[in-house]
Amino acid sequence: MARTRYASDRGLTSRMLVTMFLLGLVYVVFVGAFFVFVPQWAFVALAIAVVFLMAQYFFSDRMTLFAMHGRVVTPDEAPELHGVIDRICAMSDAPKPRVAIADTDVPNAFATGRNQKKAVVCVTTGLLRRLDPVELEGVLAHEMAHVAHKDVAVMTIASFLGICAGLITRFGLQMGLWGGFSRRSNDQNTGLILLAVVAASALAYAVSFLLTRALSRYRELSADRAAALLTGRPSALASALTKVSGEIARIPTNDLRSAQAFNAFFFTPALGRGFSVSSLFSTHPTLDKRLAQLSKISAELSRGV
């Protein structure tokens, strides 16, 4: 973690380290087996995956802002928003990130950038209209905790195995569709190897998907805790979470669908009515779990723990 006043959580940190270790273990086994059985594909798939990883790592701030139609604003353009960011920077001893606004009614916020020098914190106009200054401070402290914890870099690296496995699965399926199996009908061993590689790639993708989602949920809980302890107002963050979750349910379905691709970045996922977060492999913990953690922190602060 960067040298800031954001509190760490040993329990969450240990769970994240175990998750990262398991991801690395799956990656080593998968890549090692792949190089043994199909080395000519492995180099191509890894090369493409590395290009994607580098692009995501070095240009995540620009790509995310562009996709969300976010615009960097100056203190003259958004004095109140900059004022809240300045207060959080003063409390946390963190360098000030760039500040952006996305013109959408979906109430949300996100942080991106591979390090503190490249960090951008973006809020939507819908969020600014709905939250009071204290609630907004809690949300922005949460997002800046992601920056302090280097979450964008961590999640980018964690997603590398999924990218590799996904590409290899796609290559294998396309070869089958292009007649790869029929052309090699006289070579059953090659066909079986191809099938085995596709199956192993799909399995590796599924495992990495689950582990990455678990890591993302731990990161969200860690950011909630760090923000609550930094501001000393866990109730304000809980109020913002409740309000944003309730308001999102009122947003038109089409608007939600256009935003769901960025759920991993958001303060809270863009999900509509009747959508059960607990039934999916979510990037975020359930609202009840986040509120329970904040309630526990509030009780600890009131006792002076």
pLDDT at position 6: 74
Residue 87 pLDDT level (bands cut at 50, 70, 90): very high
pLDDT, tens digit, for every residue of 44-68? 666 776 777 777 778 777 877 888 8
Residue 295 pLDDT level (bands cut at 50, 70, 90): very high
Q: Residue 123 in contact with residue 84, Cβ under 8 Å?
A: no
What is the distance between the alpha carbons of residues 88 and 98, in angstroms, rounded to a whole number?
13
- Would you call 125 exposed, middle or buried from its count of C-beta atoms within 10 A (0-12, 13-18, 19+)? middle
Range of 103's domain? Answer: 25-266+275-303
Q: Residue 134 in contact with residue 95, Cβ under 8 Å?
A: no
Q: Does residue 44 or residue 86 have the better pLDDT?
A: 86
pLDDT at position 116: 83
Spatial neighbors of 223 by CB under 8 A, at least 6 apart, are: 142, 143, 145, 146, 149, 151
Q: What is the pTM of this model?
A: 0.76
pLDDT above 90: percentage of residues in the chain: 29
Nearest to 272, CA basis, from 286, 295, 255, 297: 255
Q: Does 172 fall in a domain?
A: yes
Gyration radius (Cα) of the chain, Å: 21
pLDDT at position 189: 62
Q: Does 13 fall in a domain?
A: no
pLDDT at position 162: 67
Residues facing residue 112 across a β-bridge: 120
Residue 283 pLDDT level (bands cut at 50, 70, 90): confident
Residues facing residue 123 across a β-bridge: 101, 109
Residues facing residue 71 across a β-bridge: 101
pLDDT at position 107: 87
Query: Is the model's pLDDT at 8 over the cut of 60?
Result: yes
pLDDT at position 144: 93
- Would you call 279 exposed, middle or buried from its count of C-beta atoms within 10 A (0-12, 13-18, 19+)? exposed
The number of folded domains in the chain is: 1
24-28, 74-78, 267-271, range with greatest mean pLDDT? 74-78
> For the chain, how far is it from start to end, CA to CA, in angstroms?
23
Q: Does 17 fall in a domain?
A: no
Q: Does 11 fall in a domain?
A: no
Q: Does 14 fall in a domain?
A: no
- Does 220 count as an annotated binding residue? yes
Q: Does 6 fall in a domain?
A: no
Q: Does 108 fall in a domain?
A: yes
Q: Does 248 fall in a domain?
A: yes
**Ranges 218-222, 230-234, 256-260: which has the least confidence:** 256-260
Nearest to 288, CA basis, from 272, 268, 274, 302: 268
Active-site annotation, residues: 143
